[in-house]
C-alpha cells in the first residue's frame, strides 16, 4: 500500500475470507452436497475463498448434514501426489497447530464436532502436517470458528429459518471475499446473490473464477 500511495496506483486487496455457502430448500441436493465439500476441503481448506460457513434451512439441516458427514468420512487422506488422495497435509507444523487450536476453541465455545477434529493416525499421514476434515454443527454466528479465517479443513454449519435470516448471517462478517448460493430457481438465487456483501458470489458452483475480471474482495 505504501508503494501504491506514491503515485496513486489502483490496487485490489485480498485480505482473507469467511465465505458463506447458502443452500436453499429448492437446491439440487446432490450437487449442493458435493459442491459444499469441494468448497471447503479443496486444497485442505487452504484457500482464501473457501466456503467455510455452511448455511442450511432448518427443515433441510438433518438430512443434509447426515449425508455430508457420511461423504466426509469417505474422503481419503494421504500423499497429495497420489491421484487417489482427497485430503493432503497442511503447509507447516505451525499451521497445523493453529487449525487444531481453532478446533479446540470451537469445542470450548459449545459447537459440536460431527466428524474429524484431530490428527489422523493412518500410516499414510505419518510424514505430513495433517488435520482430519472437520465439521462443526450447532455453530452460532458470534463464535470464533464462524468469524475468523482458519485456513484449514474446518466447516461451520449454521441454520436459518428465512431467506432474510440467511442473508443477514452471510453478511455478518468482517470479510467480503466470496459467497455462494445453491438453488434450482436461478432468478431467486440471483436476487439473494445481489444482497450478499461479497466480491464473488457463485451460484451452483464454487472456486470457479472468471478470466474477465480480477479476483479480489
Task: Give the CATH number, domain containing residue 159.
Answer: 3.40.309.10
Question: Is 2 part of a structural domain of the chain?
Answer: no
Residue 212 forms part of a structural domain = no
Is 5 contained in some domain?
no
- pLDDT at residue 199, rounded to an integer: 86
CB 56 within 8 A of CB 159: yes
Strand partners, 202: 180
pTM summary value? 0.93
pLDDT at position 14: 72
How confident is residue 12, by pLDDT bands cut at 50, 70 and 90?
Answer: confident
> Is 142 a member of any domain?
yes
Pull the grid cell for residue 50. Answer: 473457501
Q: Which grid cell is 53?
A: 460457513
Report the number of distinct structural domains present in the chain.
1
Measured in whole angstroms, the distance separating CA 79 from the mean position of its chain's CA atoms is 22
User: Is residue 66 in some structural domain?
Assistant: yes
Q: Mean pLDDT for the chain?
A: 95
pLDDT for 214 beyond 90: no
The answer to the question of residue 188 being in a domain is: yes
* Confidence grade of residue 212 (pLDDT, cut at 50, 70, 90): confident
Q: For residues 32 and 182, is the Cβ–Cβ distance under 8 A?
A: yes
The stretch 201-215 carries a mean pLDDT of 86
Rg from Cα positions in the chain = 17
Q: Is residue 94 part of a domain?
A: yes
- The values of phi and psi at residue 30, to 5°, are -60, -45
pLDDT in tens, 98-144: 999 999 999 999 999 999 999 999 999 999 999 999 999 999 999 99
Q: What is the distance of C-alpha 159 from the center of its chain?
A: 15
Domain extent, residue 195, equals 16-79+86-203
Catalytic residues: 14, 48
pLDDT at 25: 97
* Residue 16, all three cell numbers: 482473507
209 lies in some domain: no
Residue 15 clears pLDDT 90, i.e. is over it = no
Average pLDDT over residues 143-151: 98
- Kindly report the CA angle at 65 between 113 and 29, in degrees rounded to 5? 155
pLDDT at 210: 78
Amino acid at each position: 500500500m505504501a508503494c501504491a500511495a506514491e503515485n496513486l496506483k489502483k490496487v485490489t486487496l485480498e485480505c482473507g475470507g469467511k465465505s458463506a455457502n447458502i443452500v436453499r430448500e429448492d437446491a439440487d441436493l446432490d450437487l449442493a452436497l458435493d459442491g459444499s465439500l469441494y468448497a471447503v476441503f479443496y486444497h485442505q481448506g487452504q484457500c482464501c475463498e473457501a466456503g467455510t460457513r455452511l448455511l442450511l434451512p432448518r427443515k433441510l439441516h438433518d438430512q443434509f448434514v447426515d449425508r455430508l458427514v457420511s461423504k466426509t468420512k469417505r474422503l481419503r487422506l494421504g500423499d497429495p501426489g497420489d491421484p487417489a488422495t482427497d485430503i493432503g497435509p497442511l503447509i507447516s507444523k505451525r499451521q497445523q497447530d493453529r487449525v487444531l487450536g481453532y478446533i479446540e476453541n470451537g469445542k470450548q465455545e459449545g459447537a459440536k464436532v460431527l466428524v474429524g477434529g484431530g490428527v489422523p493416525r493412518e500410516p499414510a499421514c505419518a510424514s505430513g502436517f495433517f488435520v482430519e476434515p472437520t465439521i462443526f454443527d450447532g455453530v452460532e454466528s458470534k463464535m470464533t470458528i464462524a468469524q475468523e479465517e482458519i485456513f484449514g479443513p474446518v466447516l461451520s454449519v449454521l441454520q436459518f429459518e428465512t431467506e432474510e435470516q440467511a442473508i443477514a448471517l452471510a453478511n455478518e462478517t468482517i470479510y467480503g471475499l466470496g459467497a455462494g448460493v445453491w438453488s434450482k430457481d436461478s432468478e431467486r438465487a440471483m436476487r439473494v446473490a445481489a444482497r450478499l456483501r461479497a466480491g464473488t458470489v457463485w451460484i451452483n458452483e464454487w472456486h470457479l473464477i472468471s478470466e474477465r475480471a480480477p479476483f479480489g474482495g
